[in-house]
Amino acid sequence: MTESQSLCLECGLCCSGVIFDDVELRDQSEALSVECLGLEVEENDGAYFLVQPCRALKGMKCSVYEHRPECCRSFECLLLKKYQNGTLSRTKAIGVIRNVRLKLKLPDKEPARRLMNTHFLNWSD
């Protein structure tokens, strides 16, 4: 397992439903494969979506990591990219993840959303 993979397996926020409502799957074949893994899929006008939170998420880890769909394999959040290119240490990345998790426990979710936007998606760019 690479260092990047281990960071992902310590996070799981992209699978928890707090960043995405659903994730588009490649096609019907991939949707069927995902369903065979016990995951929930929705179909809308011929497009297939993996419902979030993902049923494969156990704690902070994906229980089907080696068999996850292409959309999950290819997604790299901004936090992971910063870690991979050396602009963010592993310690700081874990700190950001923990901070988001703490803020998600608060009644007001806006601080957590701002952190996720800034550190995971960076929609403002």
pLDDT tens digit sequence for 114-124: 888 888 886 54
pTM (2 d.p.): 0.82
Residue 65 and residue 72: Cα distance in Å, rounded? 9
- Region 59-77: what's the mean pLDDT? 90
pLDDT tens digit sequence for 6-59: 888 889 999 998 888 899 999 999 999 999 999 999 999 999 999 999 999 998
The angle formed by the CA atoms of residues 83, 107 and 11, to the nearest 5 degrees, is: 25
- Domain ranges within the chain, ordered by starting residue: 3-121
What integer pLDDT is reported at residue 125 of this predicted model?
Answer: 39
Which tokens go with 44? 């809308």
What integer pLDDT is reported at residue 10 of this predicted model?
Answer: 86
